[in-house]
């Protein structure tokens, strides 16, 4: 199971672009990289998912280099409401044939006015 490593916390001012990098050196061929956002007392919310290269949606971009051993979540022009914990996960298939994701401790992003 690919283990992920990401910074424990980050601070950013409003309006700045924030990049959170995640390392997953043991990622397997079939694994996908997924990022979630979690506010206090709420469940994680799906942000973006990718397999390789670059993915972009209305809220974020995900950059994945060719070796796929890391990924970077990019949040453009953050606001105070983006203060949350961001989790990088690698979903892999376990021996029982089902998707298993392992949540790490995540990156706590604090947006400062």
Partner 1 sequence: ETGVTQTPRHLVMGMTNKKSLKCEQHLGHNAMYWYKQSAKKPLELMFVYNFKEQTENNSVPSRFSPECPNSSHLFLHLHTLQPEDSALYLCASSPSTADLSQPQHFGDGTRLSIL
Q: Can you give the binding site for partner 1, defined by CB under 8 A?
A: 30-32, 34, 36, 41-46, 49, 51, 91-94, 96-106
> Please, which residue, 78 or 88, has the CB nearer to partner 1?
88
Please, what is the minimum distance in Å from the beta carbon of residue 70 to partner 1? 19
Any idea which residue has 């298993």 for tokens? Answer: 100
**Distance of alpha carbon 36 from alpha carbon 89, whole angstroms:** 8
Shortest reach from residue 18's CB to partner 1, in Å:
21
DSSP state of 65: -
The residue among 77 and 100 lying less far from partner 1, judged by its C-beta, is: 100
Q: In the chain, what is the greatest distance between 2 CA atoms, to the nearest angstrom?
A: 47
Sign of the dihedral through C-alpha 86, 90, 95, 99: positive
CB of 51 to partner 1, least distance (A): 8
């Amino acid at each position: 199971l690919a283990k992920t490593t990401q910074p424990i916390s980050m601070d950013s001012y409003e309006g700045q672009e924030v990049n959170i990098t995640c390392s997953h050196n043991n990622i397997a061929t079939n694994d996908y990289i997924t990022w979630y956002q979690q506010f206090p007392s709420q469940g994680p919310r799906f942000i973006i998912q990718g397999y390789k290269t670059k993915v972009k949606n209305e809220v974020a971009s995900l950059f994945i280099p060719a070796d796929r051993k890391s990924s970077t979540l990019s949040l453009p022009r953050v606001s105070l409401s983006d203060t949350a914990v961001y989790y990088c996960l690698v979903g892999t298939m376990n021996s029982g044939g089902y998707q298993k994701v392992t949540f790490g401790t995540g990156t706590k992003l604090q947006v400062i006015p």
